[in-house]
Amino acid sequence: MSPAVLTHMAIGGLALSLYWTALGTRKGGGRHRGAGKAALALLVLTGLSVGPILFARPFDPGYVVQMVYLATCLATVSALAFNAIRLKADPDRFRGPLLRRGGPVLLALGVIVLAAGLAKGDPVAVTLSWVGLVYGT
């Protein structure tokens, strides 16, 4: 496994563990807030670590589409989480352009990844397409 993939896995694994730490602690408490902020920051790094993974491999359009899809899902979910915290007192602003545009983009990408996965018989793509199909609607 390449160093880029190992780095991506380590950062993503730490982000996921901090997400679950925040989820399992008292809302608004110091540990909840600290773990949540760190998880969001690491999600950004996880998304950025996709670039080196793409450049470390031979060009494969299907793989590029899948990685762009996952990075878009990650960026959208991270931005929505950040905005949910920042704009919790102003729900109308939270339902702004990111929420209105992000959903259809995730849905369209989910459909593309599902179609590609079904066409190639790729169970990973078919399984991952649910993120865009569910969160995009």
pLDDT tens digit sequence for 68-81 = 888 888 888 888 88
Residue 137 confidence (pLDDT) above 80: no
Q: What distance in Å separates the CA atoms of residue 14 and residue 42, rounded to the nearest whole number?
A: 8
pLDDT in tens, 13-35: 999 999 999 999 998 899 999 99
User: What is the reported pLDDT for 56?
Assistant: 84
Mean pLDDT score of the chain: 89
The residue written with tokens 């299907």 in the block is 62
User: What is the reported pLDDT for 77?
Assistant: 84
In this prediction, residue 10 has a pLDDT band, given cuts at 50, 70 and 90, of very high
- Closest by Cα among 134, 9, 137, 125 to 65: 125
Please report, for the chain, the start and end positions of each structural domain, with discontinuous segments joined by +.
1-57, 60-137
In this prediction, residue 86 has a pLDDT band, given cuts at 50, 70 and 90, of confident
Residues in the chain: 137
Sign, CA dihedral 64-69-70-71, equals: positive
- Considering only the C-alpha atoms of the chain, give the largest distance between any 2 of them, rounded to a whole number of Å: 48
User: What is the reported pLDDT for 45?
Assistant: 93
% of residues, the chain, pLDDT over 70: 100
pLDDT in tens, 120-133: 898 988 999 998 89
In this prediction, residue 103 has a pLDDT band, given cuts at 50, 70 and 90, of confident
Structure tokens given for 129: 């397409």
The residue written with tokens 């939270």 in the block is 94
